[in-house]
Amino acid sequence: MCGILAIYRYYGDMDAFRQKALDMSKRLRHRGPDWSGCEVRGQSILCHERLAIVGVDTGAQPITSHDDSILLTVNGEIYNHKDLERSLKTPGPFKTHSDCEVILHLYKEQGVDAVKQLDGMFSFVLLDTKTDRLIAARDPIGITTLYRGYNSQHPETVYFASELKALNEECDRIEAFPPGHVYDSLTGETTRYFNPQWFDPKVIPTTPIDYPALRHALVKAVRKRLMSEVPYGVLLSGGLDSSLISSIAVREARKIALEEGSDYDDNVDTSASRAWPRLHSFSIGLPGSPDLVAAVEVAKFLKTIHHSYTFTLQEGHDALADVIYHLETYDVTTVRASTPMYLLSRKIKAMGVKMVLSGEGSDEVFGGYLYFHYAPSAPELHQETLTRVKNLHTSDCLRANKSTMAWGLESRVPFLDREFLDTAMSIDPQYKMCDKEHMEKYIVRRAFDPEQLRLDGESDTSAYLPPEILWRQKEQFSDGVGYSWIDSLRDLAERKVTDAEFAQRTQRWPTDTPSTKEAYYYRHLFELSFPQPACTESVVRWIPRTDWGCSDDPSGRAQKIHESAYKA
């Protein structure tokens, strides 16, 4: 991933504004420390801060067409770029080896509809200088981050950036660009291009569970994401999701390294993975935390090169202000989980690793959070999973993207693959319901159980994971790094926020008023970096399903079903 900035139809002197735009783009350089680019055409400017993963030698951006009439700045990865290149009707000369340049050529043939062909995670801005047309788009789920801003004194100018910190001093209105949408300056409209059948909340899926289809879809999703020309690894918490992704990655990397081929080959670019067949895994936690213990067990089973790190409560507390600055949110759940991930990402980048696979999305897709045990019915469970998937860009995707990109580390999330989502979100939700015999995420656990592999006639029925990991209870990341982590945050907030200050919270923040001292403290830290109202308006907080009888605390330990639940 990278950092992008674009300003369309700027109202002032472009020569004078160029340095200002460079300064704005510089605020994104943590996302792309490898190179910087800037192109000005008329009253528009495109900037790029590059993190080189694919096409390392020639992929500098903004990318320009052969006749210099089209400019493109992209944040992300296009996994099917090789297949798309072969599909071009009139393939023009490619100037780079980047997986992103194909977007420019697709636009020449298909216009704004080109975005529908892309399989990957991406945010991009394309400028066609012949027609003064600007196209901006974001991937279907919002794995990558993108913001759009305006200055009310000059409404004709539109700003785009990977993070709002690049826009907050120039714009008095900033919004998260909606995932699965494309903006076209010719019409001035932002329209949805991603609209699969399962996206309709009124339609409750009825497809029976097909374990081979579910398994093959996830394996294919992981294989796509091994596209890399730099060292890569996996974030391994020891929970089901990250462990399963790690196991699949080990198997697929081995196949690619041995050039044995695979049943899941679909013309995606995986050739570069042969350079990195031995997988590195990374975990973090407080000393003796549940995740660290489980991660070591998984790493030994998978034979990864494992790196286990610890942090202290004080180190976590000291990082909070920086974490919130990079996250650009004050949501309690996100801040809690992001801090260990932020600390771990710095360690990983220091080792020279630039890309990791991660397990985000599984809990939303399969109803894996412990509060799903209280779902009143299968249709209501499905509607809640759908809501959570649609809002991932405000929570887990935001966390995974910004916590890692704070140090120029790219995270890839196989559970949010388009094809995998089509399979998993179309399953009858009765198979996702929890009961005494079926724990949370039962069907994905069962799909990779050796007994099911034998029933499905798989040629390789060896275990993907040890049974105690495959069937381990859901542990939210902010809990799994050590139960005292969340307790310490509450205690810290109690010391930092006085009773008098908390009593005046409604007067200070009449909108989106914090309900706890911990939430108050994060809101305070957020406004130290982002005092502008436009920044606050872009924040979305997750609200627990108290109407299901759940605790209003987002921690998994707050749910009665948790083995180490808070005691009444």
Tally Cβ neighbours within 10 Å of residue 15.
Answer: 8
Instruction: Report whether pLDDT(564) > 70.
Output: no
- Does 206 reside within a domain? no
DSSP 43: T
Q: Is the pLDDT at 138 greater than 50, yes or no?
A: yes
**What tokens does 154 get?**
């000059």
What amino acid is encoded at 304 in this protein?
Answer: T
C-alpha to C-alpha distance for 159 and 163, rounded to whole angstroms: 11
Please tell me whether 359 is known to bind a ligand: yes
Is the peptide bond prior to 62 cis by the omega test (within 30 degrees of 0)?
Answer: yes
Separation CA 88–CA 101 (nearest Å): 12
As a three-state string, the secondary structure of 478-519 is HHHCCHHHHHHHHHHHHHHCCHHHHHCHHHHCCCCCCCCHHH
Asked whether residue 37 carries a pLDDT value surpassing 70, the answer given is yes
For residue 391, the model assigns a pLDDT of 95
Q: Domain check: are 156 and 238 in the same one?
A: no
| pLDDT band at 354; cut points 50, 70, 90 | very high
Q: Are residues 181 and 244 in the same domain?
A: no
pLDDT value, residue 554: 59
Task: Indicate the SS3 state at residue 173.
Answer: strand
Match 């700003």 to its residue by tokens: 159
User: Are the beta carbons of 162 and 124 closer than 8 angstroms?
Assistant: no
- Residue 173: the pLDDT is 97
Q: Do residue 152 and residue 248 come from a single domain?
A: no
pLDDT above 80 (res 57):
no
Digit-coded pLDDT (tens) for 421-431: 999 999 999 99
Examine the domain organization and report whether 167 and 301 are in the same domain. Answer: no
Say which residue the tokens 């066609």 belong to. Answer: 128
- Range in 300-304, 520-524, 557-561 with the lowest mean pLDDT: 557-561
Q: Which of 123, 48, 30 is nearest to 323 (CA)?
A: 30
Residue 87 belongs to domain spanning: 3-195
The domain boundary, picked from 195, 230, 252, lies at 195
Is 167 annotated for ligand binding? no
Q: What share of the chain is helix, strand, coil (3-state, %, to 5)?
A: 45, 15, 40
Tokens of 268: 């995606």
| Two structure tokens written together for 217 | 């879809």
Q: Is the pLDDT of residue 285 over 80?
A: yes
Q: Report yes or no on 204 lying in a domain.
A: no
Number of H helices, E strands in the chain: 21, 17
Classify residue 474: in a domain, yes or no.
yes
The residue that leads in pLDDT, 386 or 54, is 386
Question: b/e for 288-317, b at 16 or more Cβ within 10 A?
Answer: ebbbbebbbbbbebbebebbbebbebeebe
CATH number for 262: 3.40.50.620
Angle at 389 between CA 384 and CA 394, to 5 degrees: 110
Residue 542 has pLDDT above 90, yes or no: no
Domain boundary among 195, 220, 241: 195
Phi-psi region of 312 (alpha: psi -120 to 50; beta: other; left: phi over 0): beta
Q: Are 342 and 322 in contact (CB under 8 A)?
A: yes
- Residue 203 in any domain: the answer is no
- Whether residues 249 and 280 fall in one domain: yes
Task: Please list the residues that pair with 64 across neighbouring strands.
Answer: 71
Q: Which secondary-structure segment (H or E) carries 347?
A: helix 332-350
Are 70 and 35 members of one domain?
A: yes
Mean pLDDT of 25-44: 96
Size of the chain in residues = 568
**436 and 539 inside one domain:** yes
User: Pick the catalytic residue: 2, 100, 397, 535?
Assistant: 2
- Which residue type, as a one-letter code, is found at position 86? R
Given a cut of 90, whether residue 274 has pLDDT beyond it is no
Q: Quote the pLDDT of residue 272.
A: 44
pLDDT tens for each residue of 216-272? 999 999 999 998 888 899 999 999 999 999 999 999 988 887 764 444 454 555 544
CATH (domain of 75)? 3.60.20.10
CA–CA gap between residue 562 and residue 475 (Å, rounded): 8
pLDDT band at 536 (very low <50, low <70, confident <90, very high): very high
If phi > 0 it is left, if psi is from -120 to 50 it is alpha, else beta; for residue 252 that is: alpha
C-alpha span between 493 and 495 (Å, rounded): 5
Q: Say whether 489 counts as a known binding-site residue.
A: no
Asked whether residue 489 is assigned to any structural domain, the reply reads yes
Note the Cα 127 to chain centre separation in Å: 26
| Average of per-residue pLDDT across 157-182 | 97
DSSP designation for 356: E
Is 102 within a domain? yes
By the 10 Å C-beta count (0-12 exposed, 13-18 middle, 19+ buried), 87 is classed as middle
Calculate mean pLDDT across residues 206-214: 98
Question: Residue 468: which H helix or E strand, with range?
Answer: helix 467-470
The HSE-up count of residue 229 (CA atoms within 13 Å, CB side) is 14
Say whether 2 is catalytic: yes
% of the chain exceeding 70 in pLDDT: 92
CA 349 from chain centre, in angstroms, equals: 18
Task: Measure Cα distances from 188 to 133, 134, 156, 183 in Å.
Answer: 10, 10, 10, 7
Please check whether residue 392 is in contact with residue 401, taking contact to mean a CB–CB distance below 8 angstroms: no
Tally of structural domains, the chain = 2
Per-residue confidence band for 279, with pLDDT thresholds at 50, 70 and 90: confident
Q: Flag whether pLDDT at 54 surpasses 50.
A: yes
Contact 470, 445 (CB under 8 A): yes
Q: Tokens for 168?
A: 């907050």
**Looking at the structure, do residues 114 and 223 belong to the same domain, yes or no?**
no
20 plus 70 within the same structural domain: yes
Q: Is residue 566 part of a domain?
A: no
DSSP run (H or E) holding 125: strand 120-128
450, 414: one domain: yes
pLDDT at 379 > cutoff 70: yes
pLDDT of residue 452: 98
- Same-domain status, 187 and 336: no
Give me the amino acid identity at 306.
Answer: H
Q: Are the C-beta atoms of 138 and 144 separated by less than 8 Å? A: yes
Using the predicted structure, report yes or no on whether residue 51 has a pLDDT greater than 70.
yes
Among 160, 195, 230, the domain boundary falls at 195
d(CA 4, CA 136): 11
Q: Can you give the pLDDT at residue 256?
A: 82
Measured CA to CA, the distance from residue 467 to residue 478 in angstroms comes to 23
Task: Please report, rounded to a whole number, the percentage of residues in the chain having pLDDT higher than 90.
Answer: 82
Which range, of 25-34, 75-84, 397-406, 550-559, averages the lowest pLDDT? 550-559
Q: What CA–CA distance (Å, rounded) separates 150 from 170?
A: 8
50 contacts: CB under 8 Å, gap ≥ 6: 2, 32, 34, 35, 36, 37, 59, 60, 61
**Residue of 42, 43, 110, 98 whose CA lies nearest to 73:** 98
Q: Is residue 132, in this structure, part of any structural domain at all?
A: yes
Residues 191 and 217 in one domain: no
Which stretch of 108-112, 275-279, 338-342, 498-502 has the lowest confidence by average pLDDT? Answer: 275-279
> What is the three-class DSSP state of 551?
coil
HEC-encoded secondary structure of 313-336: HHHHHHHHHHHHHHHCCCCHHHHH
